[in-house]
């Protein structure tokens, strides 16, 4: 009995069909992963929103963006714990009471932050502070700084470091009553991947050095930062950014210019938490309305139906 074998052309067609199916399947799997990481980040931000509300109910205001550390020989010293950024103050409301207890104990023992940078807590890495898209493996593992707990989320300080029109900035002490523009149209937190420079660590959930009023990008960020060249000159990256404002746009990991604007490792945009606890994914095309959304009391009318 004669048997008909595959011709070379038929074999090539079959292989092409298999390759096409494999490519389509790979694209589908990749899209599922992208969607899953974006949804995971949104879930983390929603938990932040609930934690902010609980903190506000307990203290009558939102946590400070970051406060002033106490100094020796000053009569107006604040509570030592005030020197910690907003993320640290949310720990008890994010089921991280043990880590908060370590911070309280460290500052009770050493309120002036003089003992080994309080290493008993700053190396802790709560998973909720890192978006899955922000790969922690990018950290410089040979550096002492690499052991600092990182975060992918920064508070929105307003327009920039000089115009603090938002809700989280140096020594901020605001409440929801101050949000006269409406909590559903006022930004509270946004995404920006962490970054290591020669000067320090941008994007950490705890504070290990005294904060400064005019620094930005560590725990909070403006939506249109200016004066970036002066900051970069201090970290050995002068003239890396184009002049003018740094706006919401695509970024690249470990490029110093991207320290000073919101962005994410998701394709096409980033997640934002609003003061009412809602979370939205914003495409980079909304950069023009972010200044209005970052303002707590500017009287702007903004459509956030993205």
What digits encode the pLDDT tens for the residues 63-89? 999 998 888 888 888 888 888 999 999
Residue 127 has pLDDT above 70, yes or no: yes
**Residue 159 pLDDT greater than 90, yes or no:** yes
Residue 268: partners with Cβ closer than 8 Å, 6 or more residues away? 283, 284
Three-state SS sequence of 195-244: EECCCCEECECCCCCCCCCCCCCCCEEECCECCHHHHHHCCCCCCCCCCC
Query: Where do runs of H (alpha helix) occur along the chain?
Result: 8-59, 86-89, 97-109, 119-122, 228-233, 290-293
Lowest mean pLDDT among 4-13, 100-109, 202-211, 239-248: 4-13
Q: How high does pLDDT run on average in the chain?
A: 84
pLDDT of residue 140: 41
4 found inside a domain? no
Q: pLDDT at position 141, please? A: 41
- Give the residue numbers spanning the domain of 186: 10-293
- Domain count along the chain: 1
Within a domain: 298: no
What's 69's DSSP letter?
Answer: P
Is residue 62, in this structure, part of any structural domain at all?
Answer: yes
Q: Are 260 and 231 in contact, with CB atoms under 8 Å apart?
A: yes
pLDDT in tens, 231-272: 665 555 655 676 778 899 999 877 778 888 999 999 899 999
Would you say 256 and 240 are in contact if contact means Cβ atoms under 8 Å apart? yes
Residue with tokens 């941008």: 202
Local confidence band at 121 (pLDDT 50, 70, 90 cut-offs): confident
Query: Which residue has better confidence, 11 or 206?
Result: 206
Q: What is the pTM of this model?
A: 0.85
For 150-159, what is the mean pLDDT? Answer: 95
Q: Are strands 187-191 and 269-274 parallel, antiparallel or unpaired?
A: antiparallel
| pLDDT, average across residues 138-144 | 45
Task: Tell whether 1 is covered by a domain.
Answer: no
Lowest-pLDDT range of 131-140, 143-152, 249-258, 284-293: 131-140
Residue 142 has what pLDDT?
Answer: 39
For residue 90, the 8-state DSSP code is T
Do 104 and 96 contact (CB within 8 A), yes or no?
Answer: no
Distance CA 191, CA 168 (A): 14
């Amino acid at each position: 009995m004669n048997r008909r074998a595959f011709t070379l052309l038929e074999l090539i067609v079959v292989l092409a069909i298999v390759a096409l199916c494999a490519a389509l399947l790979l694209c589908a799997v990749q899209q599922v992963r992208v969607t899953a990481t974006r949804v995971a980040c949104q879930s983390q931000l929603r938990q932040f929103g609930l934690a902010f509300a609980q903190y506000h109910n307990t203290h009558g205001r939102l946590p400070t963006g970051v406060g002033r550390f106490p100094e020796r020989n000053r009569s107006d010293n604040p509570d030592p714990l005030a020197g910690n950024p907003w993320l640290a103050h949310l720990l008890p409301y994010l089921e991280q009471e043990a880590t908060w207890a370590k911070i309280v104990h460290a500052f009770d023992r050493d309120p002036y932050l003089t003992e080994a940078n309080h290493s008993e807590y700053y190396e802790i890495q709560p998973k909720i502070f890192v978006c899955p898209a922000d790969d922690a493996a990018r950290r410089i593992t040979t550096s002492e700084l690499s052991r600092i707990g990182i975060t992918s989320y920064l508070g929105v300080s307003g327009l920039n470091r000089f115009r603090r029109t938002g809700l989280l900035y140096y020594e901020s002490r605001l409440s929801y009553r101050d949000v006269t523009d409406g909590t559903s149209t006022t930004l509270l937190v946004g995404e920006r991947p962490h970054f290591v420079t020669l000067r320090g660590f941008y994007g950490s959930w705890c504070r290990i050095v005294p904060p400064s009023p005019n620094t930005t990008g560590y725990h909070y960020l403006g939506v249109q930062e200016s004066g970036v060249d002066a900051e970069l000159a201090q970290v050995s990256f002068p003239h890396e950014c184009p002049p003018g404002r740094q706006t919401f746009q695509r970024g690249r990991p470990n490029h110093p210019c991207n320290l000073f604007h919101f962005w994410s490792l998701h394709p096409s945009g980033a997640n934002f938490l609003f003061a009412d606890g809602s979370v939205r994914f914003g495409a980079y095309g909304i950069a023009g309305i972010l200044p209005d959304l970052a303002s707590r009391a500017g009287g702007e009318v903004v459509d956030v139906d993205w």
